[in-house]
Amino acid sequence: MSSEQRSPYVRPRRLRRTAALRELVADVRLGVDDLVAPLFVREGIDEPQPIESLPGVVQHTIESLRTEVGELIDLGVRAVILFGVPAEKDTVGSGAYDRDGIVQVALRDLRAEFGDSVVLMADLCVDEYTDHGHCGIVDDHGVVDNDATLEIYAKAAVAQATAGAHVVAPSGMMDGQVAVIREALDGAGHVDVSILAYSAKYASALYGPFRDAVDVSIADGGDRKGYQQDYRNVAEALREIDLDLDEGADMVMVKPALSYLDVIADVAAHVDVPVAAYHVSGEYAMIHAAGERGWIDADAVALEHLTAIKRAGATIILTYFTRWFAERR
Ligand code: PBG
């Protein structure tokens, strides 16, 4: 556009001139009440254990978990999601549904201590609890058996709800998991416990640090491509979302977040339930690693990334930056 054609009156920079103006006109606002803190609790330890690839994140004891959740509540955080690291793993992942499995113990403790003042979510999967590291029951050919796995998920959902979970969050990507879990919860009288479905969960290389956090390695150099989604597909994400909503999901999730902003935007335009996005371990670790080298300003990038996830359409963000964000206000 030549200068003669340009209107002298249109100057978008006017609204960027001062911090107060920028604050006034910003249309995406990230709040502490949008965030969910993922927390790890490990059986059989006396002291919290640092996780090397997730700086600032630890495997908690029951006691340190209670302290952490109390502090998060005081900082204004509304929700946490728990992951368990059992002392022993087995072929079916029984720690995921045992009454005294580590997450169930933690849920009972937190619910007794904090009641309804924080939303207690439980990741519902068996990979942390199986000796082969898969998210389900593995058949003789090393393939995850969908329907055999569903029976285990149903038991885990009831165990978590009975222990005090407000929300169960199935993350295993088995077909029909939401329906089976809803039916099991209702059958056990837990009609009020909601389901946050990890609906569009991609087979991603960004889960690496998480697997350190929960001591998982997949047997025989395996991967999850047989059940998690292929990142070349986007229509399939909407199909997974529709199925989960039909089956009774109360909220849906896209995971990971940053490389999937297009998927988040499509899903947000498509549904009328809350949309969550999981800013995963690798996304967190990359920011820390580059920040430590002085190559980026880690705090500024963290804020930019989380805001982008919200701008794309997520109303709930699961992130390891939750406590940092709550403290910086
Ligand atoms: C499965 C589960 C995983 C994550 C959340 N739930 C791991 C996987 O699918 O391999 C990853 C979260 C992260 O990377 O932060 N229980």
What is the per-residue DSSP string for 224-271? STTTSBPTT-SHHHHHHHHHHHHTT-SEEEEESSGGGHHHHHHHHHH-
Q: Give the pLDDT mean for 283-293.
A: 98
Q: What length does the chain have?
A: 329
Q: What is the mean pLDDT of the chain?
A: 96
Ligand 1 site, residue 240, Cβ cutoff 6 A: no
Asked if residues 183 and 208 have their Cβ atoms less than 8 Å apart, the reply is no
C-alpha separations of 154 from 125, 170, 180, 252 in Å? 10, 10, 6, 19
C-alpha separations of 149 from 181, 211, 286, 288 in Å? 11, 20, 33, 36
Indicate the angle between helix axes 261-270 and 235-246, nearest 10 degrees. Answer: 40
Q: What is the structure's pLDDT at 3? A: 57
The number of beta carbons lying within 10 Å of the beta carbon of residue 285 is 22
In the numeric block, which tokens belong to residue 108?
A: 């009972």
Three-state SS string over 52-93 comes to CCCCCCEEECHHHHHHHHHHHHHCCCCEEEEEEECCCCECCC
Q: What is the structure's pLDDT at 4? A: 65
In CATH terms, is domain 29-327 a member of 2.40.160.10? no
The amino acid at residue 315 is T
pLDDT tens digits for range 223-269:
999 999 999 999 999 999 999 999 999 999 999 999 999 999 999 99
**N-to-C CA span, the chain:** 42
CA-to-CA distance for 329 and 322, rounded, in angstroms? 11
Give me ligand 1 centre to Cα 210, in Å.
6
CA-to-CA distance for 71 and 314, rounded, in angstroms? 25
Q: List helix spans (H) across 115-260.
A: 146-163, 177-187, 208-213, 235-246
Lowest mean pLDDT among 69-83, 102-116, 204-218: 204-218
Is pLDDT of 323 > 70?
yes
To test the ligand 1 pocket, which listed residue (210, 211, 321) has its Cβ within 8 A of the most ligand atoms? 210
Q: What is the structure's pLDDT at 220? A: 84
The distance from CA 306 to its chain's CA centroid, rounded to whole angstroms, is: 14
Q: What is the structure's pLDDT at 6? A: 77
Burial of 167 (0-12, 13-18, 19+ CB in 10 A): buried
CA-to-CA distance for 6 and 155, rounded, in angstroms? 66
Ligand 1 site, residue 37, Cβ cutoff 6 A: no
Question: Sign of the C-alpha dihedral, residues 61, 62, 63, 65?
Answer: positive
Ligand 1 site, residue 210, Cβ cutoff 6 A: yes
Give residue 142's pLDDT band: very low, low, confident or very high (50, 70, 90): confident
pLDDT tens digits for range 121-136:
999 999 999 999 999 9
Give me ligand 1 centre to Cα 80, in Å.
15
User: Residues 89, 201, 225, 310: which is the catalytic one?
Assistant: 201
Q: Give the pLDDT mean for 181-199.
A: 98
Q: What is the pTM of this model?
A: 0.96
